[in-house]
Structure 1
């Protein structure tokens, strides 16, 4: 078995966030705020502690808003400070219409998953 065949992408983190645009009905702005909310809950110290290259990390971002086709996924991906990001837009989140119906407050949700190729031969569970 070769070294490369022992590696598999393992999810090393899952974070969630919420973001809003209260007055502009800007889905991308709400999504970026949701991503920023999620990443501010995390500190990936394992890269420094274990000497891992964060460029090998892949990041999957899923954004839920009422109008997914209104998202600029490239702008959202640019918010991620590390790894190779892919953004998927899906129906979710919430719109809260203004009392007069002229606009809506937009609520976006974000799920951020980070994956890293882990060499399974280097780790094993020990007996308690």
Structure 2
């Protein structure tokens, strides 16, 4: 059975002093899902295990993100995390350090359901 992307959440996080890309990414994920509720499971009878979650983290140094360490930050679904070039590094001229800013896109996919009509309307 094919899947439909049903949820997209975006978030931003930073690490102001530690230059830790994984910490900034974790904060971006938290920001993305902080206000989310998923009543679709109770309404449809689907289980959380049927949801596939793809997380894309944008940072200036993608190789510095521990993607596996971020998986537990998503409490539901089968989760995959990848890091790509994005985000922002803001240099601190007084200390030589960086403020690391990460962006996150959290996408949730569910199996297509008979009778569901998902309309793709342009705004």
Q: CA deviation at 1:78?
A: 1.3
CA distance in 2, matches of 1:42, 1:95: 28
The alignment partner of 1:78 has SS state of: helix
1:123 aligned to 108, 116, 120, which one? 116
Q: CA deviation at 1:51?
A: 1.5
> Which residues in structure 2 correspond to 1:1-128 (within 5 Å)?
7-100=1-94, 102-119=96-113, 121-124=114-117
The structure that has the greater radius of gyration is 1
What is the TM-score of this pair, normalised by structure 1? 0.87
4+ long deviations beyond 3 Å: none
Which string of whole-angstrom CA distances, capped at 9 and with x for unpartnered residues, describes residues 52-105 of structure 1? 111110000000000000000011111000001111110000001011352100
RMSD of equivalent CA atoms: 1.3
Alignment gaps of 5+ in structure 2: 119-123
How many equivalent pairs are there?
118
